[in-house]
Amino acid sequence: MIEIRALASGSRGNCYWVTDGSTPLLLECGIRFKDIQRGLNFKVSELAGCIVTHEHKDHCKALKDMVKAGVVCYMSAGTAEALGAEGHRVHKIAPLQTFKVGSWQILPFEVQHDAAEPLGFLLASGDGKLLYATDTYYLKYRFNGLTHIMIECNYSADILQANEDAGLLPKGLRDRIIQSHFSLDNVKEFLKANDLSKVEEIWLIHLSDGNSDAERFKREIQELTGKMVFVA
């Protein structure tokens, strides 16, 4: 049974603990190591690994400390190079090449973001399938048999436009958001295009501080899917 716990989510830092009941993993380490320790009740040593999607600090802030603590960290070669990450605890992985961590079978796949070689991940264990996709404006893949979805829902176009009209959002920043992050409308289209028959939980992650509405996003995704929705 897959269990998910959000230690942090958003532009200030991202870090999620997941387990299949046998192998605990960390998805991202984008907060202070001390905060990760507290979030895990000082049981960092129980982690089987940490998966990092890309080199932006809100996803890998504690990477050096994680490695020092003995945690194996998985990332693309492009991400490792961008971070200058080396050593036997830095495992470089490639898109569409499955690797195993404990009882998890993990498939990395390409996403679209302004980073060196960003990845999303499909994690499978037993009857459970967890999709983790963040910091992308588009997902070209479709997935069957998902039981858990963790997906970025960074902004909505109408809030973004209202903030620009009010002078709260520079056009350059608006353009970057659109070209590197997943919107509410894109999340809806993605969910409609995929098999949700076995989905138990949908987690909306990495919401923008100023360009999102957590209650609205949760309500609209629940109405669309009929699934249990959490906002991290």
Domain that holds residue 135: 3-231
Q: What CATH number corresponds to the domain at position 138?
A: 3.60.15.10
What pLDDT score does 160 carry? 85
What pLDDT score does 156 carry? 93
* Chain segment 197-221, per-residue pLDDT in tens: 999 999 999 999 889 999 999 999 9
| Cα–Cα distance for residue pair 103/48, rounded to 1 Å | 10
Which residue would you say has higher pLDDT here, 216 or 137? 216
Q: Per the structure, how many domains does the chain have?
A: 1
pLDDT-derived band at 146, boundaries 50, 70, 90: very high
> How high does pLDDT run on average in the chain?
95
What pLDDT score does 225 carry? 98
Give the three-state DSSP class for 101: strand
pTM (2 decimals)? 0.95
Q: What's the average model confidence in pLDDT over 53-65? A: 97
pLDDT of residue 25 exceeding 80: yes
HSE (side-chain half, CA atoms, 13 Å) at 97 = 9
pLDDT of residue 161 exceeding 80: yes
Query: 69: closest CA among 33, 23, 35, 102?
Result: 33
DSSP string, 65-82: HHHHTT--EEEEHHHHHH
73 beta partners: 50, 90
pLDDT of residue 136 exceeding 80: yes
What pLDDT score does 178 carry? 77
Segments in the chain forming alpha helices (H)? 33-39, 57-60, 63-68, 77-83, 157-165, 171-180, 184-192, 214-225
pLDDT of residue 11 exceeding 90: no
Distance from CA of residue 220 to its chain's centroid?
A: 20
| Cα–Cα distance for residue pair 30/55, rounded to 1 Å | 10
| Cα–Cα distance for residue pair 139/194, rounded to 1 Å | 11
- Computed on alpha carbons and rounded to an integer, the radius of gyration of the chain in Å comes to 17
Least confident of 15-19, 177-181, 204-208: 177-181
Q: How many residues does the chain have?
A: 232
What pLDDT score does 176 carry? 76
- The CA–CA distances, whole Å, from 222 to 3, 191, 202, 218 equal 20, 11, 9, 6
